[in-house]
Amino acid sequence: MSKEGFWDSPDQQREILKERAVLSETVETFKRLSSELEDVAILLDLALEEEDQQELSDIAGKLKAIDTEISAQEFQRMLGGTDDPLDAIVSINAGAGGTEAQDWAEMLLRMYLRWTEKQNFKNQIIDLQPGEEAGIKSVTFTSSGRYAYGLLKAEKGIHRLVRISPFDASGRRHTSFAAVFVYPQVEDEIVVDIKSADLKIDTFRSSGSGGQHVNKTDSAVRITHLPTGIVVQCQNEKSQHRNREMAMKVLRSRLYEREQQLQSEKLQEIHDSLENIAWGSQIRSYVLHPYRMIKDHRTQVERGNVDAVLDGNLDELIEAYLLQEGSTEK
C-alpha cells in the first residue's frame, strides 16, 4: 500500500485492502488469544496459591472458551487455498434409479440450502430440472459468502442413501445415489495490469521502407514483458510515441489472451477432477434403515442424529474433512 501509484488503481486497492483486512483480523485474533492465555496463567498461579476453588472453576471456563476459539482458528487455517474465499457453484445430479434417486437429489438440495442459510450465505438457483413424478433430476445453484467454496468443496462426490422407499408399495429397502459437484465461481472480467517495472523498452531504427523520416530516426519500439517473456514490437508508425502506443496495445491483447487460456486450463483441470468421480466410490452414506447412521467414508466420522444432518447440520462433517485434508497437505 505504500508503493507509489497504489491509490491510482481502484481494482488493485480493492484486492489489497480485502487481503489486508483478512490478515489483520488473523493477527489481531492471535495477539488477543495470546494475551488472554497469559492473563489466565497469572490467575491460575494466584488461585492455586490461595486454594480458591471458585476462581479455579472460573479459570476452567475461560480456558474452555479459549480452546474453542483456537480450534476455530485452526479450522480457518485449513481454508488457505487460492480459490477457498470465492463463491461456490453447486450442482446436484440424481443417479440411476428414477424417482428414488430424484427424490434423494431434492433431499440433498434441501440439506445444502438449510446449511448455507445458517452460514448467512446468499443462494440463487440458476437451473433446475424437475423429476417426472417427484424430486429433481438435476439442479445448479450459486452460494455467495465468505469461504463458500472453501467449505462446500468438502461435499464434492457421490452421496449414497439407504432407506425404505416411500414410493415402493411393497415397502422394500432401496439404495439411491446422487452426485454433488462444487466449482469456484471465478470472475468473468480479466484485468490486465501491466506494471512499468515489468517492461523493457528498446528503440531502434526502422528497417523497412517507411519513408524518409521513419528510416532516419529511432522510431521503432520493442517491448519485452519480463515476467512472461512476451516480446512485441512496432515500427510502422512515423513517431516513436505512436509505435510505443501500438506495441502496448498488442502486448495488452497478448497478456489478456494468455490469462484467458490460464483460466480455461484451470477450469478444465477442476472439471477433469470431477469426471474421475465414479459411481460406487461414495464419500458419504446416509442409512435410514435397518439402523440410522451417517458415515463419512473419508474421515470415518459417524453421526447417529440423521435428521439433524439432513436438516443442514453439516459443520462437524465438513470440519473433519478439511482438518484431515490440511493435515495431509502439511
Angle between helix axes 10-50 and 53-77 (nearest 10 degrees) is 150
The predicted model scores a pTM of 0.64
Fold of 196-266: Double Stranded RNA Binding Domain (3.30.160)
Vertex 267 angle, CA 265 and 272, to 5° = 90
Domain segments of the chain as ranges? 6-77, 88-188+279-329, 196-266
Angle at the Cα of 302 (from 300 to 306), degrees rounded to 5? 145
pLDDT of 272 reads: 63
Q: Which residue in this structure is represented by grid cell 528497417?
A: 207
In the 8-state DSSP scheme, what is residue 69?
H
Pull the grid cell for residue 168: 415402493
108 or 278: whose pLDDT is higher?
108
For residue 212, the model assigns a pLDDT of 46
Residue 214: pLDDT band by 50, 70, 90 thresholds?
Answer: very low
Three-state SS at 26: helix
Q: What is the pLDDT of residue 280?
A: 62
Query: pLDDT for 218-267, tens place per residue?
Result: 788 899 999 999 888 787 777 888 888 878 877 887 887 787 678 777 76
- Residue 190 has a pLDDT of 55
pLDDT at 330: 47
pLDDT at 189: 53
Q: Which of 34-43, 96-105, 219-228, 266-275 has the lowest mean pLDDT?
A: 266-275
For the structural domain made of 88-188+279-329, what CATH number should be given?
3.30.70.1660
In this prediction, residue 283 has a pLDDT band, given cuts at 50, 70 and 90, of: very high
DSSP-assigned letters across all residues of 251-285: HHHHHHHHHHHHHHHHHHHHHHHHHT--TT--SEE
Please, which pLDDT band fits residue 216 given cuts at 50, 70 and 90?
A: low
The pLDDT-based confidence of 208 (bands split at 50, 70, 90) is low
Mean pLDDT of 57-79: 87
